[in-house]
Chain A
Amino acid sequence: MFSSFLIKYGEIGVKGKNRYIFENALMNQIRYALKRCEGKFLVHKAEGRIYVDAESEFDFDEVVDALSKVFGITGICPVKFVDLCNPEELKKVILDYVDQVHQDKNKTFKMHVRRAHKSYPMDSMELNASLGEAVLEAFPSMKVDVHEPDILLTVEIREKIYIYSTVIPGPGGMPVGTNGKAMLLLSGGIDSPVAGYMIAKRGVKLDAVYFHAPPYTSERAKQKVVDLARIVSRYSGPIYLHVINFTDIQLAIYEKCPHDELTIIMRRYMMKIAESIALDTECLGLITGESIGQVASQTICSLACTNEVCTLPVFRPCIGMDKQEIINISEKIDTYETSILPFEDCCTIFVAKHPVTKPSLEVIKRHEKHLDDCIDELVKTALDTKETIIVSYDKRD
């Protein structure tokens, strides 16, 4: 039935002279998303619009699913196109289309014909009238409503005839790649993949860093993070995932600093390391899944303490959300089931029974001095031995 998709995009339409940059980025992201679908597709721009034409057999649901994960798309219109034909034949095509696509005929509709091909024998007004009449005759339960129709039946007459009437909502946002790149601190939890998703939605490309602490965290915990990154990469495009061996730093902190400040000091080193990789890889900001007050290390005092080590902006899109709101998004983007697998991550291993909730920066800094004799070396080793995994969802797996 359908052999093409008209891609609707919102915000990027208004970006003035930069518009072509946004459109090209969107087309690239669409091509990336379609790589995992069966079939051949042509993604092209025509008369200020983006079309995805199927050039072979394809699975409709699979393609819609892939497209609905491309940021920048606000709507996906499945399009039927036929070769130019005379108005009588066109009537038949339209009736056939309405019959198949709209099972429920108790609807109002409006004909919307656009004639770009000016030599076509009838003009758009005439076509509106004659095609509308044909629909009314064939399906008596359908009524015309020109102000708020349930179905806007669009027919565009160009070098071919395009027919569409349904819009499947897209995810909105901006095409990834139009807003630089940022470094996501990815743990195995629920929040950080959601944070990555939300920033990617604003057109930001993602890299990620994961802190691995063998033998305290297992290979399975690391695999879980790779799996999460892969799910996020469905939306964000390929992710460079940097794995840092954090064990020695964590043990040094554990041995030399007060236990109730362990998590804060640990977080500060994580931010430092993440920023250091970010600066090396052209990332312009850091992303975390923090939400005010969710745990001791995320009180506003704690956040102020961890934030202090960074010069790059830190984006925390979950900051004002309740846990349930974050869970809702993680369920929507399919990371929830993976996030709740029971493997320990490095944040949960050495948690003190009563961690500080109102850390004082001054005190923390004084206690960090205990690490002076070893920490630079440890951080350097951690950075030198980082492992980088390229995670991408374009292959079927």
Chain B
Amino acid sequence: MKEVYLDNSATTQAYEEVAEIMKKILTEDYGNPSSMHRKGIDAEKYLREAREIIAANLKCDTGEILFTSGGTESDNMALIGTAMANHRSGKHIITTAIEHPAILETAEHLKSLGFEITYLPVDSFGVVDPEELRKAIREDTILVSVMHTNNEIGSLQPIEEIGKIIKEIRPSILFHVDAVQGYGKFRILPRKMGIDLMSVSAHKIHGPKGIGFLYINNKVKIHPIIFGGGQQKGLRSGTENVPAIAGMAKAVSMIYKDLDEHIDKMYELKEHFVKRLLEIDGVTINGHTGRDSAPHVISASFEGVRAEVLLHALEDKQIYVSSGSACASNKPAVSSTLKAIGVKNGLLDSTIRFSLSVFTEQEELDHTVDVLNELLPVLRRFTRH
């Protein structure tokens, strides 16, 4: 079998159509959308179309879409931009213990500027209890930020319920959702769900890298964090990355075209894969596995094997996976999510994340299980004592 790519939560292969439209724009319609001439107007047309596609998908206004360089910038903008614009109403922000570093590190930065941060705990499946949130909200709370889908174990948060609680207590509290892993897997309608801000990244849904967007409800008071030529109504200066934006819009329309079908297939694959993994000795699955988890993320701990070694052994067989979370794997520190859900100490360093995409086939997963069955006994023979 040729290569098996099971690291789709790190990044995905782009659709052919995405690459095509980007090439056309880079080589033919390469104008700057701010230019006065026709070349500029042609380029601007791509931006308008992209906004329309995304707005239709979210059932929101086109003016509520801010193009950014991806998930990390969207998260930074959501937290810092609203903190700067609303600090007179209060300096308290609530988030969770299992957020992506783009949120956790930004929150720490705000803490150093005098903001107070509350980190909500999660249960052993990596899910936040909405009642904990209710208790954490204070007079001076200005923002709540909760991720839609966890990147390491695929747990889903009760976003709609959280949105309801927030708006019940005080509609002026802003609700940000990091939907980098959830967008393209679920239909997320911000207005219906009480979401004021939402971060999305294109390269997780077969779009290009270096592009994403932040949904910002019209009523939200927010300040820019990047200054310059005043593009995007002054909220995000810098020439718009037209080819990447058009590529992202293409990916959005393609992934949502037959979404239900794709997702059903992914859940079936996941169920099958989990069942086969559990047939192997010494394997634990972290988090939920059914419809109450993400369709594409499977976190498995392999007793007696170091994740990094297993990862490289799989790599040798052209099977590509992550240890813990790819974004965090370049640091030796163990995953905060795995710790937060109470994974046993001995297994923290033995956890592999498999993540699927619309391109994943069952035979690839079966092949992976076969390879695991071949590798694990050898690797376990040579463990560090």
Interface residues on A, range: 10 to 19
A251 nearest CB across to chain B (Å): 6
A344 lies within 8 A of B382 (CB):
no
**Which DSSP category, helix, strand, loop or mixed, fits chain A's interface?**
loop
The 8 Å CB contact of B382, one of A251, A351, A353, is A251
Stretch of B60-68, B192-200, B307-315 lying at the A interface = B307-315
Top 5 A-B residue pairs of the complex, sorted by shortest distance between their CB atoms: A215-B312, A215-B313, A342-B332, A218-B312, A216-B309
The 8 Å CB contact of B315, one of A215, A255, A352, is A215
A259 interface hit (Cβ, 8 Å): yes
Given contacts A215-B313, A215-B315, contact A344 B308 (CB under 8 A): yes
B258 interface hit (Cβ, 8 Å): no
Q: How far is the CA of A351 from the CA of B383 in the complex (A)?
A: 10
Given contacts A215-B315, A342-B332, contact A350 B382 (CB under 8 A): yes
Q: How far is the CA of A254 from the CA of B314 in the complex (A)?
A: 22
The number of residues on chain B lying at the interface, defined by a beta carbon within 8 Å of a beta carbon of chain A, is 15
B316 interface hit (Cβ, 8 Å): yes
Task: Report B-chain residues with C-beta under 8 Å of the C-beta of A255.
Answer: 381-382
Considering only CB atoms, which chain A residue lies closest to B313 in the complex?
A: A215
**Which DSSP category, helix, strand, loop or mixed, fits chain B's interface?**
helix
A217 nearest CB across to chain B (Å): 8
The 8 Å CB contact of A351, one of B308, B312, B381, B384, is B384
The 8 Å CB contact of A214, one of B310, B312, B331, B381, is B312
Considering only CB atoms, which chain B residue lies closest to A348 in the complex?
A: B384
A349 interface hit (Cβ, 8 Å): yes
Q: How far is the CA of A259 from the CA of B313 in the complex (A)?
A: 23
Q: How far is the CA of A28 from the CA of B316 in the complex (A)?
A: 43
List residues of B whose CB falls within 8 A of some A CB.
Answer: 308-316, 331-332, 381-382, 384-385
Considering only CB atoms, which chain A residue lies closest to B333 in the complex?
A: A342
20 contacts between A and B (CB under 8 A): A214-B312, A215-B310, A215-B311, A215-B312, A215-B314, A215-B315, A215-B316, A216-B309, A216-B312, A217-B312, A218-B308, A219-B312, A254-B382, A255-B381, A342-B331, A342-B332, A344-B308, A350-B382, A350-B384, A352-B385
Considering only CB atoms, which chain A residue lies closest to B384 in the complex?
A: A350
Task: Report B-chain residues with C-beta under 8 Å of the C-beta of A259.
Answer: 385
Task: Report B-chain residues with C-beta under 8 Å of the C-beta of A342.
Answer: 331-332
Task: Report A-chain residues with C-beta under 8 Å of the C-beta of B385.
Answer: 259, 352-353
Which residues of A, 234-285, contact B by the 8 Å Cβ criterion? 251, 254-255, 259
Q: How far is the CA of A349 from the CA of B314 in the complex (A)?
A: 18
The 8 Å CB contact of A215, one of B309, B331, B332, is B309
Interface centre among A218, A219, A351, A352 (most CB of B within 10 A): A218
Q: How far is the CA of A154 from the CA of B382 in the complex (A)?
A: 69
A192 nearest CB across to chain B (Å): 21
A261 nearest CB across to chain B (Å): 14
Q: How far is the CA of A222 from the CA of B312 in the complex (A)?
A: 13
A349 lies within 8 A of B312 (CB):
no
Which residues of A, 337-361, contact B by the 8 Å Cβ criterion? 342, 344, 349-353
Known: A215-B312, A215-B314, A349-B384. 18 other contacts (CB 8 A): A214-B312, A215-B310, A215-B311, A215-B313, A215-B315, A216-B309, A216-B312, A217-B312, A218-B308, A218-B312, A219-B312, A255-B382, A259-B385, A350-B382, A350-B384, A351-B384, A352-B385, A353-B385
A214 lies within 8 A of B384 (CB):
no
B145 nearest CB across to chain A (Å): 30
Q: Convert A207-218 into 0s and 1s, putting 1 for each residue whose CB lies closer than 8 angstroms to a CB of B.
A: 000000011111
Interface centre among A215, A255, A350 (most CB of B within 10 A): A215
Task: Report B-chain residues with C-beta under 8 Å of the C-beta of A351.
Answer: 384
Task: Report B-chain residues with C-beta under 8 Å of the C-beta of A217.
Answer: 312
Task: Report A-chain residues with C-beta under 8 Å of the C-beta of B332.
Answer: 342
Task: Report A-chain residues with C-beta under 8 Å of the C-beta of B382.
Answer: 251, 254-255, 350
